[in-house]
Amino acid sequence: MKKIIIIKVGGAIVEHEGQLNQLLDQFAQVDGPKILVHGGGRRATKVATSLSIESKMVDGRRITDADMLKVVTMVYGGLVNKDIVARLQARGVNALGLTGADADVIRSHRRPLKNGIDYGFVGDVDHVKGDLLLTWLDQGIVPVIAPLTHDGQGHMLNTNADTMASETAKALAAYADVTLVYCFEKPGVLSDPADDNSVIPVITRTDFDRLTADGTIAGGMKPKVENALAAVSAGVGRVIITQASAIGQEGGTVIQ
44-61 pLDDT, tens per residue? 999 999 999 998 888 767
Q: Are 159 and 111 in contact (CB under 8 A)?
A: no
41 is in an annotated binding site: yes
120 is in an annotated binding site: no
97 is in an annotated binding site: no
Q: Which residue has the higher pLDDT, 74 or 243?
A: 74
Domains, the chain: 3-255 (3.40.1160.10)
Backbone angles phi, psi at 235, to 5 degrees: 105, 5
Radius of gyration for the alpha carbons in the chain, expressed in angstroms and rounded = 17
Which residues pair with residue 58 across a beta bridge? Answer: 61
Distance, in Å, from the CA atom of 105 to the CA atom of 219, rounded to the nearest integer, reads 29
Convert 162-173 into a string of H (helix), E (strand) and C (coil).
HHHHHHHHHHHC
Q: Which helix (H) or strand (E) holds 126?
A: strand 123-128
Q: What is the predicted pLDDT for the residue at 60?
A: 67
The pLDDT of residue 223 is above 90 = no
Q: Which residue has the higher pLDDT, 131 or 219?
A: 131
Taking each continuous run of H as one helix and of E as one strand, the counts in the chain are 9, 14
The pLDDT of residue 114 is above 70 = yes
Q: Which helix (H) or strand (E) holds 156?
A: strand 156-158
152-177 pLDDT, tens per residue? 999 999 999 999 999 999 999 999 99
Specify the amino acid at residue 167.
Answer: E
Output the DSSP codes for 57-125. Answer: EETTEEEB-HHHHHHHHHIIIIIIHHHHHHHHHHTT--EEEE-TTGGG-EEEEEPPPBTTB--BSBEEE
62 is in an annotated binding site: yes
Q: What is the predicted pLDDT for the residue at 206?
A: 96
Q: What is the predicted pLDDT for the residue at 12?
A: 85
Instruction: State the pTM of this model.
Output: 0.94
Q: Distances in Å between the alpha carbon of 131 and those of 51, 138, 170?
A: 40, 10, 12
